[in-house]
């Protein structure tokens, strides 16, 4: 019996050059009905389109008929045959998330705030919970569609699904990506030892079905598998991950060097509400500022701006205070902004150059220059200089510069994971000056996804009031969705 793939192949090649494969389906003409040339289609019928019993003999139409019948047959099932019982899934002692949390996960997978999937999975893992069995097929399929580039999501799904997800993956070839994950990626606990000198990469490919050995993902894997290995190593042994990056840097391509830095950016923090960087990372990142690849030194500058006490942060703070100042007026204090004269070599080295943020904003150069400096300035700079709390600073009037400062502070708050600033910015958007530009709307959307979900609970942000902009209403909706999502994961799951 020909397979579905045989029909797909014939349709792609074309019936002029390929035979229509005979497909044995109940009710379909037997092999004796084939034409004298042995082809499944016979163009010599009276009307050129159909043969006896109204069946099509045109090759193209016949192929479509066979595809339609095979589709019905596949949906209907197959004749019972001898079968061995499936082996049971391995044990997983972790409790299942509560029914409400499981339904929330199903909603996310159906398209209700799908960008919050990773947060649900991380929160479940932090609480020692596993995903309900009924959502595992959708989770595995979501990762299949995402592809190997999203190795972080695949690792989270593998962890949340546990033994039952691995069992399911063995039953469906479309989910074989889970079997292809190295143990380092699947468990999130990498072995620092690769069996080779740091940075060395073995040539040659891993064969399908080969068992992963510690370090194989780094030595033999593609860039997605290498990223997964490095991320797991960074989570378990930050120093070993940094040494591996340093040893691999010279031989790595520009895209791989960017991947190294993105792993550092996404690393879990050892200190609550702080970026996942460490003071020991500064030397590596400062050297990366001199990389010839624009994306590489841009990422290095971004990361250094989030590292508390970094030399780059101090340089940005000095630039920011030369550009933004607070003044006292008859109706209260306000901010004045004076953009820098241009892009000097030191500013370019720190990751801000003409066109460096192409695609992120269409602002004029002086405006964009202020935005990039503010976004890279340590937030404590403003509180120390102005002697004000973040909520008071963001409420200061600044005229036409207000959208630029709001966007820059929002980017800084997200990068530096500063919850006080995020709360102040969200409250200003909800209760004070509402966002009015596309860049502010996007900044508010990201704030709602990074801020403390408690802002969406009782006593959090007010509103939404009638007539508020859609961006404000959407931000409040996201905050409340996240609050409910995490509350459900905290609920009793003993009966889940």
* Tens digit of each residue's pLDDT (9 = 90 or more) over 120-154: 999 999 999 999 999 999 999 998 887 666 767 88
319 close to 347: Cβ distance less than 8 angstroms: yes
pLDDT digits (tens, 9 = 90+) for 229-240: 898 889 889 999
Q: Which two tokens stand for residue 179?
A: 């079997």
Query: How many other C-beta atoms can be found within 10 angstroms of the C-beta atom of residue 159?
Result: 19
Helix axes 470-490, 117-126, angle to 10 degrees: 30
Please report the pLDDT score of residue 49 as a whole number: 39
Assess whether pLDDT exceeds 50 at residue 71.
Answer: yes
Over residues 325-340, the mean pLDDT reads 92
Mean pLDDT over each residue of the chain, to the nearest integer: 82
In this structure, of 343-347, 358-362, 444-448, the range with the lowest mean pLDDT score is 358-362
Residue with tokens 């933004």: 324
State how far the Cα of 130 lies from the Cα of 164, in Å rounded to an integer. 10
């Amino acid at each position: 019996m020909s397979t579905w793939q045989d029909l797909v192949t014939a349709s792609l090649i074309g019936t002029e050059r390929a035979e229509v494969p005979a497909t044995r389906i109940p009710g379909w003409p037997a092999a004796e009905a084939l034409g004298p040339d042995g082809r499944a289609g016979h163009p010599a019928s009276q009307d050129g389109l159909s043969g006896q019993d109204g069946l099509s003999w045109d090759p193209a139409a016949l192929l479509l008929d066979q595809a339609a019948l095979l589709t019905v047959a596949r949906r209907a099932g197959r004749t019972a045959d001898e079968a061995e019982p499936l082996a049971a899934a391995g044990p997983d002692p972790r409790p299942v998330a509560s029914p409400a949390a499981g339904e929330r996960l199903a909603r996310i997978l159906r398209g209700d705030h799908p960008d919050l999937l990773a947060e649900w999975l991380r929160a479940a893992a932090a609480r020692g919970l596993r995903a309900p069995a009924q959502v595992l097929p959708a989770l595995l399929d979501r990762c299949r569609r995402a592809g190997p580039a999203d190795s972080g999501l695949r690792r989270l799904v593998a962890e949340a699904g546990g033994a039952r997800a691995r069992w399911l993956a063995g039953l469906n070839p479309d989910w074989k990506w889970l079997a292809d994950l190295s143990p380092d990626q699947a468990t999130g606990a990498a072995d620092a030892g690769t069996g080779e000198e740091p940075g060395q990469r073995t040539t040659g490919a891993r064969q399908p079905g080969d068992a992963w050995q510690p370090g194989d993902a780094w030595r033999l894997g593609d860039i997605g598998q290498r990223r997964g290995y490095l991320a797991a190593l960074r989570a378990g042994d930050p120093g070993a991950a940094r040494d591996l990056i340093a040893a691999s840097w010279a031989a790595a391509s520009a895209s791989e060097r960017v991947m190294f830095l993105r792993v550092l950016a996404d690393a879990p923090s050892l200190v609550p509400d702080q970026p996942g960087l460490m003071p020991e990372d500064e030397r590596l990142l400062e050297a990366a500022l001199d990389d010839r690849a624009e994306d590489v030194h841009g990422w290095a500058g971004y990361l250094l701006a989030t590292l508390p006490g970094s030399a780059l942060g101090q340089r940005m703070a000095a630039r920011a205070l030369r550009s933004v100042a607070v003044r006292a007026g008859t109706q209260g204090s306000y901010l004045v902004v004076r953009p820098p004269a241009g892009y000097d070599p030191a500013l370019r080295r720190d990751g801000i150059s003409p066109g460096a943020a192409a695609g992120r904003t269409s602002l004029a150069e002086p405006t964009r220059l202020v935005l990039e400096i503010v976004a890279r300035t340590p937030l404590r700079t403003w509180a120390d200089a102005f002697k004000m709390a973040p909520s008071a600073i963001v409420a200061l009037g600044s005229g036409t510069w207000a959208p630029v400062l709001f966007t820059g502070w929002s980017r800084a708050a997200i990068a530096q994971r500063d919850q006080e600033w995020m709360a102040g910015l969200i409250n200003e958007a909800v209760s004070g000056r509402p966002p009015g530009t596309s860049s502010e709307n996007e900044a508010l959307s990201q704030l709602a996804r990074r801020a403390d979900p408690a802002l969406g609970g009782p006593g959090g942000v007010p509103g939404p009031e009638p007539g508020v902009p859609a961006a404000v209403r959407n931000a409040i909706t996201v905050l409340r969705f996240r609050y409910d999502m995490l509350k459900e994961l905290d609920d009793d799951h003993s009966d889940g």
